[in-house]
């Protein structure tokens, strides 16, 4: 008993010491610059390829899609894809053991499929059923893979990290990715490409603004996608808003500010 208690004490003091070490200010405190990008030159190469593909193919197609559709039509298409993704939300809600998220996603799927003309109209939101964007990367985080911030840029898929690469693969193995893959190529390709295009259409102005506003587009996209994903993961882990706020509670003071 005595030995056990001693071990416990020793372990806890070791833990405390290591915790202290973490909180010690380093020589140059720069917690905001933890980009964790060991493969930067490789990533920049893939990023350049993605940009080239975007300029040459994706953006022109998205603009063409915008030219031949009305906003109401586009909203219908966007709702249709969101409704398909409710199957993913149900699957991941269940895998995470989250009854509330699973239930709401199932309600949304039923309401929108039957009363919303196969999802083209979002009646579920009118009925105040909350929507979540769940994916297998979030499931992996809930299962314990909480921290994964090594930056990796994937061709076509863009910003990711080891956990979320697992997530992307998992998304192909769960609905709707699974259903879509099981249909004929005549259905699966247009469906997948259509989604890619309609999503790109929604961010035409946003990405143009980012281009105009950035001095290093790769670095801008890297930090923004990392920060945004962290928020999504925090929410999936059920961290309250005060926890989320502590993530932004970095020190902005240098102590030598010119007023």
154-173: contacts with other proteins (CB under 8 A): none
CA separation for the pair 194, 73 (Å, rounded): 14
From the list 227, 237, 238, 239, which residue makes contact with other proteins (rule: CB under 8 A)?
Answer: 227
Query: How crowded is residue 216: how many other Cβ atoms within 10 Å of its Cβ?
Result: 9
* b/e map 112-124, b = 16+ CB within 10 Å: bbeebeebbbbbb
**Residue closer to other proteins (CB basis): 69 or 188:** 69
**Residue closer to other proteins (CB basis): 28 or 186:** 28
CA-nearest of 127, 128, 126, 146 to 137 is 146
**Residue closer to other proteins (CB basis): 7 or 228:** 228
From the list 61, 131, 165, 207, which residue makes contact with other proteins (rule: CB under 8 A)?
Answer: 131
CA separation for the pair 123, 35 (Å, rounded): 41
Output the smallest distance, CB 11 to other proteins, in A: 31
Q: Which stretch binds other proteins (CB under 8 A): 107-115, 135-143, 156-164, 229-237?
A: 229-237
From the list 8, 181, 209, 238, which residue makes contact with other proteins (rule: CB under 8 A)?
Answer: 209
Structure tokens at 195: 């989604």
Q: Which stretch binds other proteins (CB under 8 A): 24-32, 83-91, 145-153, 156-164?
A: 24-32
Beta bridge partners of 159: 153
From the list 125, 150, 188, 192, which residue makes contact with other proteins (rule: CB under 8 A)?
Answer: 125
CA separation for the pair 122, 185 (Å, rounded): 28
Count how many Cα atoms sit within 13 Å of the Cα of residue 214 in the half-sphere of its side chain: 15
By CB under 8 A, residue 41 contacts other proteins: no
CA-nearest of 175, 122, 167, 172 to 148 is 167
Output the smallest distance, CB 209 to other proteins, in A: 5
Contact 211, 144 (CB under 8 A): no
Q: Which stretch binds other proteins (CB under 8 A): 7-15, 18-26, 179-187, 226-234?
A: 226-234
Which residues would be at the binding site for other proteins (CB under 8 A)?
Answer: 28, 30, 32-33, 35, 125, 131, 133, 205-206, 209, 212-216, 218-220, 222-224, 227-232, 234, 241-242, 244-245, 247-254, 256-259
């Amino acid at each position: 008993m005595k030995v056990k208690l001693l071990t416990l004490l020793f372990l806890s003091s070791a833990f405390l010491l290591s915790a202290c070490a973490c909180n010690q200010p380093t020589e140059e405190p720069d917690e905001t610059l933890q980009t964790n990008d060991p493969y930067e030159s490789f990533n920049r190469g893939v990023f350049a390829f993605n940009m080239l593909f975007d300029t040459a193919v994706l953006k022109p197609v998205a603009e063409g899609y915008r030219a031949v559709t009305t906003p109401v039509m586009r909203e219908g298409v966007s709702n249709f894809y969101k409704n398909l993704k409710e199957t993913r939300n149900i699957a991941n809600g269940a895998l995470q053991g989250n009854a509330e998220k699973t239930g709401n996603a199932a309600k949304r799927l039923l309401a929108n499929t039957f009363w919303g003309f196969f999802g083209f109209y979002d009646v579920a939101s009118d009925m105040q059923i909350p929507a979540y964007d769940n994916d297998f990367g979030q499931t992996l985080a809930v299962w314990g893979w909480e921290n994964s911030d090594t930056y990796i840029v994937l061709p076509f898929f863009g910003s990711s990290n080891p956990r979320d690469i697992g997530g992307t693969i998992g998304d192909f193995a769960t609905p709707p990715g699974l259903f879509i893959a099981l249909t004929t190529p005549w259905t699966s390709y247009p469906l997948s490409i259509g989604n890619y295009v309609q999503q790109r259409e929604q961010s035409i102005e946003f990405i143009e603004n980012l281009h105009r506003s950035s001095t290093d587009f790769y670095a801008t996209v890297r930090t923004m996608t990392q920060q945004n994903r962290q928020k999504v993961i925090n929410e999936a882990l059920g961290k309250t808003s005060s926890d989320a706020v502590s993530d932004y509670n970095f020190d902005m003071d240098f102590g030598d500010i010119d007023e």
